[in-house]
Structures are given as C-alpha cells and as structure tokens.
Amino acid sequence: MDVSARAMVEAIHANPTQAVLYLSGGASQALGWLMSVPGASNTVLEAVVPYSRMSMIQLLGKVPTQFASRQTAEDMALMAYNRALKLSQPGFPVLGVGFTGSLASTHPKRGVHRFHVSTRTSNQLWASTVSLSKGLRTREQEDRVSSQYLLKAIAYGCKVPASFVSELTDTEVPDEFEIQFDEDQELNQLINGQICFKVYPFLNDMSRAERKIILSGSFNPLHDGHLKLLEVAASILGEGYPCFELSAVNADKPPLTVSEIKQRVSQFEKVGKTVILSNQPYFYKKAELFPGSAFVIGADTAARLINPKYYSGDYRRMLEILSGCKSTGCLFLVGGRTVNGDFKVLDDFDIPQELRDMFIPIPADKFRMDISSTEIRRSQGML
C-alpha cells in the first residue's frame, strides 16, 4: 500500500461511518488495506466474501441473473446496508458496500474483464461499472486496480475527500450513476421492506454502547410516562443506549402513512430523544433486528408475550419463539401496568422457568403510571 492509499484509509477510519462489505471476484487487497491500518474497528463492522456460487445465492436469497453485474453489486450493497444497520451503534452513519468482478483468471476469459461496485447509505445509492483493457494486466494487477477503485468508492460513501490517483487508463472510463433519496422515498422503502429500519438520532450522542435499551410503542401521543419509563429502565441496567422504537407496520392495522410517521417522529425531535423507525410489529422480529437489546415493556405486554393464546394456543410454540429471543441476548424490563382494571407487576405472572432470567422487574416504587395513551388522546379530544 502506497502513501496516498494509506492516507485515504486513515481518513476513512477517522470518519464515524460504520460499514459492512460484501466482496466477490476481486478487490481483495482493499480489505487488507482497510484492516492493516490502525482504527479499522471504527469502520469495518463485518466483511464477507461470498465467492462460490452457492455462497452468493444464500447471501442474496435468490439466483442472480448474472453473478458479475451491476444489479448484483447493488443487491449486495443493499444487503450490506441492512446488515450494517443491525450491527452499528445508534446514531452512527452506516454504509453498505457491494463488489462483484470478473477479472483475469487461470484460463482466458471470452468476455470483458470488468468489475461492478455499489454503495448504499441512508439517502444515496451509488453504482459503477469499469471495463478493463483485456490482457493489459495480470490478475494481481487487476485486483490492485479494482481495490483502488473500491477504496475510493468507500471514501465517497463516507464523505471523505479522496485525492487518490487511480491506475486506470484513459480508455477505462467508469460508467457511474447515483440516486439521491429524499425522506419520503426512504420511508416508503422502509414500509415496503427494502430497508429494515431508520434511526433518527435526536439525542445527538453517537454512543459506543453495545446494548440498546428500547421502549417500543405507537406513541400516539408520546407522553411523560414514556420518557420516565425509559429513564428508569436505563438507570436499572446501568449501561446501554436508551432509545424509542416505532413500528410503521402494525399487526392488526394498516401501515402508518408517511405523513403519520413524520408527525410521530417529530415528537421525539422536540424532546431530543433518539427514535428508531422499524417495520416489525412483533417482538421476536425486533429481537432479530436489535440483537442483545433490552426491551422495556409494560406488564400488559408481558402477559401477552407468555400467553399461548397469541401463538395459536400452542404452549411449545410460545416457548420456542421466546427462547429464540433469548438466544439473541435480548432481555425484557417489565414495568407495572393496569390490566383488566387491576395494577399488575411482573411477579403477578407465571413466567416459564426457562425464560425467567430473561424478564427483569421495574419496581412500582421506581415507576408507576396508570393512565394510557388512549386515555390521553380522549382527554385531548383526539378520539
């Protein structure tokens, strides 16, 4: 790695962007450059090389029309972006990187030697195809050129100035394109499942905390009880990043509209609290999105979680699903709530033995609020 490449890697690592890289068919030296410079853990959340046919099919969940193509690179970048969202710390910008190439190999290729690069951020899709002059370079040299180009693409995705001089010839002109997404487009992508969640870091604190402490709800409206409950839960755990989570998709109702989402999100901006917007209404799916998190719930929600009625009456199915949540490292902090007219706390429920260490009580003397969001809406004339 020369001096200019090292300088670019150092600038990338100094940037807060966290990335997942999926690389196939080339650019292997770029990964070595990124990992050899101190600070790589600031940038690289995960790097995967789906080199075989079956590995690529399993990564994408489909058989691509062409393995070395721009569309495949874009699909890889989107998968990497969603993976980066799940692995990143709250508030940090994330980047998904996809690379696929058809470079020089042991046997001469009939087609063009080429590579495709794509990056995805919260509001941008960028992609490029480069056709190399056939026979001009060895495989190692083609890998170096593609690595240089990939590194520049990562720098661009991180918004890091790249003064690196490429070794591409004047005839090897990249075919690039870029799409910018506005907030409405991004929210529609979330609703239809293209992206798994979006973070609004209104707390303005890029925490390195591994564990998220999450209070999920519809927040219609957000009220002091929500704010106090999350505050108390965070104090009980002692460490973690407290945030709210709003699902745009409801199990029993139509998805929220973009305007409804914006209205509810605006409540968190006013109080300076981070909110994550997801498209998963069920806790076992939230556990997959936010592994290792502590979910703050009311006793009424806890009662539903352990009730076989909500698992088609199948007790074993209930144990299986909640054990799956437990295997992700998730916990449930349970606050008291009024259930059927009576105030209930965690100790009022018979938690299966296998799951008891997954549930942590929030003492009533630390938090108690009997009024519900429905009652608040009624008092405000919203019903």
* Residue 106: pLDDT band with limits 50, 70, 90: confident
d(CA 33, CA 2): 10
Average pLDDT (5-23) is 95
pLDDT in tens, 317-371: 999 999 999 999 999 999 998 888 889 999 999 999 999 999 999 999 998 876 6
CA 122 to the chain's CA centroid: 10
Q: Are 120 and 81 in contact (CB under 8 A)?
A: yes
CB half-sphere exposure, 230, CA atoms < 13 A? 21
* Residue 4: pLDDT band with limits 50, 70, 90: confident
Site of tokens 């002109």: 173
Domains located in the chain, CATH noted: 3-180 (3.90.950.20), 185-379 (3.40.50.620)
Q: Are 244 and 326 in contact (CB under 8 A)?
A: no
pLDDT in tens, 33-83: 999 999 999 999 999 999 999 999 999 999 999 999 999 999 999 999 999
Average pLDDT (14-19) is 96
Length of the chain: 383
d(CA 208, CA 87): 12
Cis amide leading into 221 (omega within 30): yes
Q: Are 72 and 190 in contact (CB under 8 A)?
A: no
Site of tokens 């409950």: 229
pLDDT in tens, 172-183: 999 999 999 999
pLDDT in tens, 113-124: 999 999 999 999
Q: What are the C-alpha distances in Å from 107 to residues 101, 116, 139?
A: 16, 21, 11
For residue 378, the model assigns a pLDDT of: 56
Q: In this structure, what are the phi and psi dihedrals at residue 89, rounded to the nearest 5 degrees?
A: -80, 145
> What stretches of the chain adopt beta strand conformation (E)?
18-24, 44-48, 94-102, 113-121, 124-132, 175-180, 197-200, 212-216, 241-247, 275-278, 294-298, 331-335, 337-339, 342-344, 359-361
For the chain, the average pLDDT equals 92
Contacts with 89 (C-beta within 8 Å, 6 or more apart), sequence order? 18, 206, 207, 208, 209, 210, 241
DSSP-derived pairing of the beta strands 275-278 and 197-200: antiparallel
pLDDT in tens, 137-166: 999 999 999 999 999 999 999 999 877 778
d(CA 187, CA 277): 9
CA 166 to the chain's CA centroid: 32
For residue 161, the model assigns a pLDDT of: 84
pLDDT in tens, 197-252: 999 987 766 667 778 999 999 999 999 999 999 999 999 998 889 999 999 998 88
